[in-house]
């Protein structure tokens, strides 16, 4: 359910009030950029696609009917732009062409370095090792915190398909950390940090 303050801003923005538009979008741009980054795993691509999403949202704002939350509506626009972008690219975009730089034996990097590598590793796995449908559902649920119902609406899936794909996506993501070279990071991470990341 949309908050009253947001509804007022949306109504004003729909009537062409630029200040209302700016307020509305200011709240969402960080979230939208991060969604694009989580989906693409690439800062430059996320930057381009975020701008494209905002331009599209600006143009389509008059058709927004408050049936979903503003964020969910924006997310749906973002997902469609992301899918169109993938269609434009060749299939090789799903291939992993990068080597994960695992620290050498005996090397004990500083905790901050490990954390940075873990961030990279998560994005790398999302980008290269999860099929699009699993990446989308995993990002929307576990990073964007959308409900099952909201995800169903955004992805155009039934509720049961959403649950099934989320379940498979989570298992696949875990499999990458167990079987992939990323485990070297998580092992180190366990040693150095909170002790919660052992698989």
Partner 1 sequence: MNCSEAKAFFSEHLDGTLNKKSRAAIRRHLESCSNCRADCESLMKSLKILKKLKEVSCPRDYRTAASKKKRGKR
Footprint on this chain of partner 1 (rule: CB under 8 A): 18, 21-22, 25-26, 29-34, 37-38, 43, 47, 50-51, 54-55, 57-59, 115, 118-119, 122-123, 138, 141-143, 148, 163, 166-167, 170-171, 173-174, 177-178, 186, 196-199
In degrees rounded to 5, what are phi and psi of residue 109? -65, 160
Residue 143 Cβ vs partner 1, minimum distance, rounded to whole Å: 6
Residue 105 Cβ vs partner 1, minimum distance, rounded to whole Å: 22
Spatial CB neighbours of 197, under 8 Å, sequence gap ≥ 6: 186, 189, 190
Residue 185's closest CA among 113, 128, 127? 113
Q: Which residue lies nearer to partner 1 by CB, 68 or 137? A: 137
Assigned token pair, 151: 């995800």
Residue 90 Cβ vs partner 1, minimum distance, rounded to whole Å: 26
Q: Which residue lies nearer to partner 1 by CB, 10 or 138? A: 138
Residue 166 Cβ vs partner 1, minimum distance, rounded to whole Å: 6
* Residue 36 near residue 78, CB atoms below 8 Å: yes
What's the start-to-end Cα distance of the chain, in Å? 38
Q: Which residue lies nearer to partner 1 by CB, 191 or 199? A: 199
Q: Which residue lies nearer to partner 1 by CB, 79 or 166? A: 166
Q: Which residue lies nearer to partner 1 by CB, 66 or 120? A: 120
Angle at CA 73, nearest 5°, toward 69 and 77? 165
Assigned token pair, 106: 């005996």
């Amino acid at each position: 359910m949309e908050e009253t303050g947001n509804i007022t801003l949306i109504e004003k923005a729909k009537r062409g009030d630029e200040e209302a538009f700016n307020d509305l979008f200011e709240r969402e741009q960080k979230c939208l950029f991060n969604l694009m980054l989580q989906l693409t795993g690439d800062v430059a691509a996320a930057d381009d696609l975020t701008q494209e999403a905002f331009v599209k949202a600006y143009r389509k704002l008059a058709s927004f009917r408050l049936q979903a939350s503003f964020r969910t509506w924006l997310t749906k626009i973002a997902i469609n732009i992301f899918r169109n972008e993938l269609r434009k690219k060749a299939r090789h975009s799903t291939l992993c062409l990068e080597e994960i730089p695992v620290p050498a034996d005996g090397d004990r990097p500083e905790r901050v370095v490990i954390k940075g590598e873990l961030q990279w590793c998560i994005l790398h796995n999302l980008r290269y090792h999860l099929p699009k449908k699993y990446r989308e559902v995993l990002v929307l649920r576990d990073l964007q915190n959308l409900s099952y119902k909201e995800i169903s609406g955004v992805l155009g899936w039934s509720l049961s398909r959403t649950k099934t794909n989320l379940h498979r996506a989570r298992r696949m993501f875990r499999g990458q950390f167990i079987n992939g070279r990323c485990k070297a990071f998580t092992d180190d991470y366990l040693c150095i940090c909170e002790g919660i990341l052992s698989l």
